[in-house]
Structure formats: C-alpha cells, structure tokens
Chain A
Amino acid sequence: MSMKHLYSKGDRRFVLINSILIGIFTLSTLYPFIYITSLSFSSGFAARAGTVVLTPIDTTIEAYKYVLAQPMFWISYKNTFLYTILGTLMSLIIIIPGSYALSRPQLKGRRFWNLVVAFTMWFNAGLIPFFLNMRDLGLLDSYFGIIIGFAVNGFNIILLRNFFEGIPQSFEEAARMDGANEFQVLWKVYVPLSKPAIATVSLFCIVARWNGFFWAMVLLQDEQKIPLQVFLRHTISTLSDDNEFGASLVDATYSAETVTAAIIVCSIIPILIIYPFIQRYFEKGILLGGVKE
C-alpha cells in the first residue's frame, strides 16, 4: 500500500482526517504525563494556584529535593528492585521447566496437567482464602512471601508452553540422539530458541512486580519491607488528606501536588527505561498467550 500518489482526493482527505484524530488521541494519552512532569518542576505556589497547564511555572527542583531526602523513598525503591529482580528470576526458574514439560507430547497425563494450570485461570479462590493461606504459611510480612507468593501465573505458563510447542519436535529428538538429557535439551536448545517468548514473559513479570501494590499493602506491615508503590500510595494519600501539611507548604517552593508529581515521575522512570525493550516483544507475546488451544 505504498502507492500514495495514486490516491484519489477523497482518500487523501480521509487519510488526513484520520491522522488528525489519531494525533489527538495520542496527545491526550501523553498530556497527563507532561502535565505531571511540569507540575513536579513548578513551584508549590504556582501549583496551588492552578496555573500549571503545559510547561513548568517558576521552575524549581525543590519537590525532588524533598522527595529524595526521604529515607523511606530510598528504602522502598531498593525493596522494589529486590522484589522485581528476585521475583522475576523466581518466576522464570519455576515456569520455564514447567512449561517445557507441559509442551512435551511424551509427558503422561499431559491433558490433565494442562488442565491443572488452566483451571487456576477460570476459578480463583479469592482474596480471603489466599490471604489466610499466606498467613498459615507464615509468609506475612516477609520478603520471601512476596517473592514466592506471586511467582507463577497461568497466562505466562501457557504463553511459554505454546511457544515451546511451536518448535519442531525434531530439535528435541536430534539433541537427544546427540546424547543430551532433558535438562540439556531445554537449556541448550529450547531456551536459546525461545528468547523472544522468554523475554516477553520476563518483561510481563518485571512490569507486574514493579507495579505490584495491593498484595504488598495487604501482606507487609514492616515499613522496612514495603515496595515503592506502597510508599507512593502512602505519601499521596497523606499529602492530599493532610491539610495542615498542605497549608504549611503554601508559601514554600513545593506543595503536596508538586511533591506527589515528583514521586510519580521518579517511579515511572525505570518503566520508561525498559519500555522500548518491552515494546519489541509484547505485541507478539500477547498473541502467543492469547488465542490457541
């Protein structure tokens, strides 16, 4: 469809209007981020007065100074990194071999095992039994509980399993005839051949870990263990509720709004850094896991 010059007048008008509409939608997606960034660099006074619309007013980095001076910001940031890295590794260590086994035709009871996985996607015991189970396992308020408790999900297993199934069986057979055992077949042949799928799953894990909030809030009491999202939520709600804090900041160079904005910017940055890598994979990955028997 690169015969642009062949388009009729009507077609050209259609394409133009369409582009404008797409442009508007794109800008409306982008605008909140621009607004928050500008807010974070504006003075507290300007923010309170509601004069920030597009660009920073009375540009200042005081809000960031305030955020970065909070010891809890750094503790929770460190915790989030910990949960993200260890949690993702835990997920991969468990589900790569599991999905591989589920993809092998010689596995006895393969239909049953696949059903065991799929059933968890259809039926969920719900918040309370999960919570009580974590408590019974002694995993409340524990680093390990967060890391292990959310390591596996059916969608990622099925995504990987489907990818493994797409690799011709003869790769496994050739490797076995060459003397490889199953672990070697997986590690030396199937894992290298499945890099795109494994990257997709890793990135889903990373994003889920980085953004994970609800269960961290429910399961963790100890402030020293909370991840960034919980700290973020805590700070945002304290700042917006605490009128005294707000009032005391009216004359200052930062305000509840600019501080909130600054924390938001700080916690988005890592996602923005890995986003280009995610993007390369997730379009395919989504479809891999989505529709297939």
Chain B
Amino acid sequence: MPGVRLDGIVKKYGAVQVVHGIDLVVEEGEFVVLVGPSGCGKSTTLRMIAGLEDISGGSLTIDERVMNSVAPKDRDVAMVFQNYALYPHLNVADNIAFGLRIRKESKDKIASAVEEVAGILGLTPYLERRPADLSGGQRQRVAMGRAIVRRPKVFLFDEPLSNLDAKLRTQMRAEIKRLHNRLGATSIYVTHDQVEAMTLADRIVVMHDGRIEQIGSPMDLFLNPANTFVAGFLGSPPMNMFTATVVAGPNGPVAEFHGQSLELPNLDALEIGSEITLGVRPEFVQLNDDPNAPGVKVDVDLVETLGSEALIHATLNGSPFVIRTETISRAPSNAAQQSFTIAPELLRIFDVETGVALPGQEVAVPENAA
C-alpha cells in the first residue's frame, strides 16, 4: 500500500517554475531520501508534502487521500526542521507535548506519551530543561521526539543533521536509522549529503534542477547510475569521467583515449568509432604492483593516507583522476607513475551527448546490500 504518492507535482513561484513534475511513490514504512545539490527543489518538494507550500500542479496523495488543499495539521504528517524550531520558552517535556496539547489530548495520555517518547530517545533525564541548556544532539532528539509523539503516518525530515558537527552527525544518523527500524513509519528525508542518503535510505531519489534524475536503492544507484549527474553526485570521491573513442579490439570493443586503452564490456549499444563518456569509480581500480605493467598509466600528484585507505590524486592525460585503495602498502609515493587495470563490467559507459548510461550494462546488486 502506498504511503505517499506524488503525481506530476509542480511548483511555481509566479512565472518561475522550480519543480517540474515529480512522480514518486513512497511505500508504507519505507525510508526515502531526496538528495541533490542545493536549489534542486528537494526541500520545496518536501514542504509541499508537508503543506507548508502550495502545490502549483499535480496531485499529492497520502494514505489514499488527496491532500493538495488539506491543511498541514490534517495531513497526519510530522516534520523535523533543519533548525529544530524548538520553542525556547518551553522545557523539553512541554516541547514534546506541544502538538498533543494543541490537539486537546487528555492530560494522562499526554504524560504517558511524553514519557514513552523520552524513554525511546534517552531524554528522560532532561525533561525539565529548556532547549538553551541542551547539547546539539539532545536538541536534535527533542525535535524528533516532538515529531514521533504524535504517531503520524509520515515523517518528514528537512536536512535535520546539517547543524551538527561531523562526529555527532554520524552518531545521530545511526540513531535515526535505528529509530526507523523500531517504529517502521513512512519517512521522507531531505539532504544534500550523499553519505546520509546512502546510509539511511531504503530508496534514494536523486534530484537535479527540479527533476528526478534517478530513483533506486543506494547500491543500485551506486553501481548503476542512470546518467553522469547521478554518477558524479553519489560516491565519495565521485566517479572519474572522461571522453574516449570506441574502437574494435581482439576480444571486443576497446576504449581509446590519448594513446591509452581500456577493454569495454560487449554492449549492443556500443558503436565502433563513436565517442563515449567513460566512468571509472575510484574504488574499482586495480593498482598494478609494477608501475610499468600493462594497463592505464596515470601520473601521481599526491597521496592522502587516511588510515584504513589511501586516496591517490593523479592526472590522466592532464585531467584529474582519483584512485581509492585499501592496500596502503601498495600506495605509490608522490610524483610517481602508476598503472592500473579495471574489469570491463565495472566501467560505466554514458552517451557523450545526453550523459545517459548506455543500456545493457546493469550490474546485479549483491544480495546483502539490497
């Protein structure tokens, strides 16, 4: 059963259209993350679902009811705001209880609901405190408490972790995931941070310029980006992309670029002699022990050692090329030449003009990651 359904949702501010028809079905209990660069329309879309922005076109259905002109309070949704919007004049308990009080629930019911939520979020010792006396993580929890206390059908999150420092962000991210596993409520989460999207989502919706670029599970999007935008947006560091020409080789098609070559998978869509955009994930590259071994040669500028892995910043024919390796002992020194190979099925091939991935190269997502 669909939890939330968007059919051709459009947002216009006067003559300017910022969201160009979004189609999306969020299943009940699913955790969907809208991700994209700032200004891509993800927050506007979320706010239209919340009822904080008028919907200029299309229809929004929540639990099989059209919600376009229903007031926010009657949509049975709750939202966690980027700045938390905790009422500074109320203590934690009153902040959590605010929505229930407005809805004139009984005192006993409110008290038990607040107690339960505080227990879930580990806020019991802080119920009497004002927001000003809480740490960033605690405020974040109160904001979530205020949302879950009402047991809404749908949770909306508007960049809820962006005000936290890096360490706390990782911690709260895990907490949100755990909370979702426990409550199982339909959740729509907006972020510009692809790591949050990858770690939290059941499905990711990548948005760009008011349109959906791709929808899919995190691993699916990572392995099978539908176009160069998604390929460049997801993954850290992003996919290396460069232009190459398809030529015929002894075992099938080969990509040629500046006198170097890489074997390509045997796709029907590949035309000998045509240009393609070739995508190489930094982590799929196999470094050769011997820098002179056959393979693609790059010039190493800089090696960043991160402990469990190393990032090799190199140039390939003058363009930047990043390699990620987990075998640090094999990381070359700065200003050396290095060669690598990559399995043809791990390459991604895009149309050089439209940036769309050529058909037929989908990789099966491993079972445990699905």
Tell me the A residues contacting B by CB distance below 8 Å: 168, 170-171, 173-180, 184, 188-189, 192-193
Of A173, A180, A184, which is within 8 A of B85 by CB? A173
Interface residues on B, range: 20 to 34
Question: What 10 A-B pairs have minimum CB-CB distances, sorted nearest first?
Answer: A178-B99, A174-B85, A179-B73, A192-B89, A170-B85, A170-B81, A179-B102, A180-B102, A177-B72, A179-B103
**Smallest CB–CB gap between A175 and chain B, Å?**
7
5 example contacts (A-B, Cβ-Cβ < 8 A) are as follows: A174-B81, A176-B73, A177-B73, A180-B102, A193-B88
Query: Is the C-beta of B281 less than 8 angstroms from some C-beta in chain A?
Result: no
How far apart are the CA atoms of A188 and B95 in the complex, in Å? 11
Residue B324 interfacial (CB < 8 Å): no
Structural contact, A193 and B102, CB atoms closer than 8 A: no
* Given A174-B81, A177-B79, A184-B102, 19 new contacts (CB under 8 A): A168-B85, A170-B81, A173-B50, A173-B52, A173-B85, A176-B52, A176-B71, A177-B50, A177-B52, A178-B146, A179-B102, A179-B103, A180-B102, A188-B102, A189-B87, A192-B87, A193-B87, A193-B88, A193-B89
In the bound complex, do residue B99 and residue A179 qualify as a contact, i.e. CB atoms below 8 Å apart?
yes
Question: Per a CB cutoff under 8 Å, which of A170, A173, A178 touches B102?
Answer: A178
Report B61-88 CB contacts with A as 1/0, cut-off 8 Å: 0000000000111000111011101011
What residues on B are CB-neighbors of A173 within 8 Å?
A: 50, 52, 72, 79, 81, 85
When distances are taken between beta carbons in the complex, the residues of chain A under 8 Å from B79 are 173-174, 177
Inter-chain CA distance A171–B98, complex, in Å, is 12
List A contacts of B52 (CB < 8 A).
173, 176-177
Task: Check if B98 sits within 8 Å of A175, measured CB to CB.
Answer: yes
Which has the most chain B C-beta neighbours within 10 Å: A170, A178, A184? A178
The CA-CA distance from A184 to B101 in the complex, in Å, is 11
Whether the pair A180, B83 counts as a contact (CB closer than 8 A) is no
A170 to B81: give the CA distance in the assembly, Å.
7
Partner of B77, one of A170, A174, A177, A180: A177
* A180 to B103 CA separation, bound complex (whole angstroms): 8
Q: Which A residues are in CB contact (< 8 Å) with B77?
A: 177
* CB-based contact B99/A171 at 8 Å: no
Within the complex, what minimum Cβ distance (angstroms) separates A197 from chain B?
Answer: 14
A188 CA to B51 CA, complexed, in Å: 21
8 Å CB interface, B227-243 against A? none
Query: Which residues between 36 and 52 of chain B lie within 8 Å of chain A, taking CB atoms?
Result: 50-52
CB distance from B195 to the nearest CB of A (A): 24
Nearest A-chain residue to B52, judged by Cβ: A173
> Which of chain A's residues have a CB closer than 8 A to the CB of B85?
168, 170-171, 173-174
Contacts of A175 in B (CB 8 A): 98, 102
Write out the residue numbers on chain B whose beta carbons fall within 8 Å of the beta carbon of A180. Answer: 73, 102
Q: In the assembly, what is the distance between CA of A178 and CA of B88, in Å?
A: 16
User: Taking the nearest CB of chain B, how far is it from the CB of A156, in angstroms?
Assistant: 22
Which residue in chain A gives the minimum CB-CB distance to B147? A177
Is B102 in contact with A171, judged by CB distance below 8 angstroms? no
Q: Is the CB of A170 within 8 A of B83?
A: yes
Q: Is the CB of A178 within 8 A of B73?
A: yes
The winner among B90, B99, B102 for most chain A CB atoms within 10 A is: B102
Contacting residues, chain B, for A179 (C-beta < 8 A): 73, 99, 102-103
CA distance in complex: A77, B71 (Å): 51
CB distance from B95 to the nearest CB of A (A): 10
B212 → A minimal CB distance (Å): 25
How far in angstroms is the closest Cβ of chain A from B286? Answer: 49
List of A residues within 8 angstroms of B83 by Cβ: 168, 170
A56 to B99, CA, bound (A): 63
A224 shortest CB reach to chain B, Å: 43
Within 8 A of A (CB), among B96-146: 98-99, 102-103, 146
Residues of A within 8 A of B102 (CB): 175, 178-180, 184, 188
Residues of A within 8 A of B81 (CB): 170, 173-174
CB distance from B360 to the nearest CB of A (A): 46
Within the complex, what minimum Cβ distance (angstroms) separates A226 from chain B?
41
A180 to chain B, nearest CB (A): 5
Q: Interface readout for B161-205 with A: 1 if CB under 8 Å, 0 if not?
A: 000000000000000000000000000000000000000000000
A192 to chain B, nearest CB (A): 4
